[in-house]
Each structure stands twice: as structure tokens, then as C-alpha cells.
């Protein structure tokens, strides 16, 4: 997911530099959305991993 965010960001910057501001802005917006989604998923899986790790530790 982060890989896609970086790709969209780079494409947006290149398109903006070439004069295609509208399309470049759309690509940067998509990159922001993908980055936020990746960040939220990271936090969710981090919390789930910590909770599951405590349950496994308690079971042993």
C-alpha cells in the first residue's frame, strides 16, 4: 500500500512539474488517501498483535 502511495506521489509531482496540474493534484490526493489507509491499517494490526501476544504469553 505504501508502495502505491509513493508511486502516485511521484507521478503527481512529475505531472505537476510538466504542467498537468489538475491530474497531478488528483494523483497527490490519491497518494494522501493511500498513505492514511496504510497508517490506519498499521495501527490496527499493531494493536491486534500486542493483544494476541499477551494472550499467547498468558496461555503459556
How far apart are alpha carbons 13 and 23 in whole angstroms? 10
Q: What is the pLDDT along the chain (60 residues), one digit of tens a residue?
A: 889 999 999 999 999 999 998 999 999 999 999 999 999 999 999 999 988 877 766 666
This prediction's pTM: 0.79
How far apart are alpha carbons 21 and 43 in whole angstroms? 33
How many helices (H) and strands (E) the chain has is answered by 2, 0
Amino acid at each position: 500500500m505504501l508502495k502505491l502511495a509513493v508511486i502516485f506521489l511521484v507521478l503527481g509531482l512529475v505531472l505537476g512539474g510538466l504542467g498537468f496540474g489538475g491530474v497531478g493534484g488528483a494523483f497527490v490526493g490519491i497518494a494522501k488517501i493511500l498513505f492514511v489507509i496504510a497508517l490506519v491499517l498499521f495501527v490496527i494490526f499493531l494493536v491486534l498483535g500486542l493483544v494476541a501476544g499477551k494472550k499467547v504469553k498468558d496461555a503459556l
